[in-house]
Amino acid sequence: MSASDSVAPDLAASECPAVSFIVPCHNEELVLEATAQALLELIEQQREIGRCGPASLVLFVDDGSTDRTWPLIERLASAHPGRIAGLQLSRNVGHQHALLAGLTLAPGDALISLDADLQDDLAVIPQMLDYYQQGHDIVYGVRGLRPTDTRLKRMTAAGFYGLMRRLGVDVIDNHADYRLMSRRAIEMLRQYGEVNLFLRGIVRLIGLRSAQVYYDRRERAAGSTKYSLSRMSALALDGITSFSAVPLRVISILGLLTSLFALAVSIWVLVVALTKPSAVPGWASTVLPITFIGGVQILSIGVLGEYIGKIYMETKRRPRFIVDRTVGLPGDEGG
């Protein structure tokens, strides 16, 4: 279905939805004001043509920033009451948990999550809202061209999505966390209580009617990326271990193959011993099987440990985030 076929909502037929923009922030003081201004202008444009209502707002989620991000959020909320709100977490809990905090606590009929760096093209938001008006509960923002990403990042991203599909995980290629979710979808998301979060996979599990819009990745408005290679690797590992048991099955297959290999070597040694009593098995026939079997065992223990660690974290049932302060939210008194 093409977004060009969408039409503006009929104001006489339905009330304009309240749209909340959820923006996780970690040390984003350099880009925060530009992001706020761009989103406020977008909200005003969409209000004029009836895509969103007067209760629409921008919610910045401060994920344990150590710079001036929170004071800037407070200042923006004071300067734009009812249009900008802030949520400060007690510490840095990571992008996925910060995003979940915003999605869980934000008001609105439709919630749109996006990064603070303005690399997610805001021009496709009208298409998202049109799809929402047509009855779609989830609209995914999918990256088309990625000229701002390095070749290594594009290659690793393609490899990750390909691996996830081979492991049986339902993911959308080149979709990060730029998406629209209806209030109905958010309430269903609340039912998922995982501590090891990979929202790109969880949202797909919700089902419901969905659509996709495509955009080209843009340059950061300012500052530098907060997603280092180690953070991306950790997110990828969470995605694999949280949604697929295939690595455990691979261990079983490796164990079977290793056992067959060891059996074959044992038979060979026995045959040599019986047919050539004077023959002494060489160093290679001793060391290579031991090394191979030891390597497989260590790898298997590592994979098992990763899954056991995930189970350990889930059984603790610790809070996924703790809110320290809020500002500008409905009913907020500045606490």
**186-207 per-position pLDDT tens digit:** 999 998 888 777 888 888 888 8
Q: Percent of the chain having pLDDT more than 90?
A: 38
Lowest mean pLDDT among 55-59, 118-122, 249-253: 249-253
**42-87 per-position pLDDT tens digit:** 999 999 888 899 999 999 999 999 999 999 999 999 999 999 999 9
pLDDT at 321: 84
Which two structure tokens, joined as six digits, stand for 50?
């009836």
Cα–Cα distance, 81 to 91 (Å, whole number): 25
Cα–Cα distance, 247 to 135 (Å, whole number): 38
Lowest mean pLDDT among 169-183, 295-309, 313-327: 295-309
Cα–Cα distance, 79 to 86 (Å, whole number): 12
Is pLDDT of 219 > 80?
A: no
pLDDT at 67: 92
CA distances, 251 to each of 238, 243, 254 (Å): 18, 17, 5
Per-residue confidence at 10, pLDDT binned at 50, 70, 90? Answer: very low
In the DSSP assignment, the letter for residue 17 is P
pLDDT at 233: 65
Element (H, E) at 188: helix 183-189
Mean per-residue pLDDT for 321-325? Answer: 89
Is pLDDT of 151 > 50?
A: yes
pLDDT at 119: 87
Mean per-residue pLDDT for 25-32? Answer: 92
CA distances, 299 to each of 129, 183, 191, 212 (Å): 47, 43, 34, 39
- Given the DSSP bridges, would you call strands 175-182 and 19-25 parallel, antiparallel or unpaired? unpaired
Per-residue confidence at 240, pLDDT binned at 50, 70, 90? Answer: low
Mean per-residue pLDDT for 6-29? Answer: 73
Task: Tell me which residue has tokens 């797909």.
Answer: 204
**255-266 per-position pLDDT tens digit:** 767 767 766 766
Per-residue confidence at 173, pLDDT binned at 50, 70, 90? Answer: confident
Which range scores top for mean pLDDT: 22-26, 159-163, 288-292?
A: 22-26
How many Cβ atoms sit within 10 Å of the Cβ of residue 175?
17
Question: DSSP strand E in the chain: where?
Answer: 19-25, 57-62, 84-89, 110-113, 138-143, 175-182, 210-215, 323-327
* Strand order from edge to edge, sheet including 210-215: 210-215, 138-143, 175-182, 110-113, 19-25, 57-62, 84-89, 323-327
Mean per-residue pLDDT for 149-165? Answer: 69
Is pLDDT of 279 > 60?
A: no
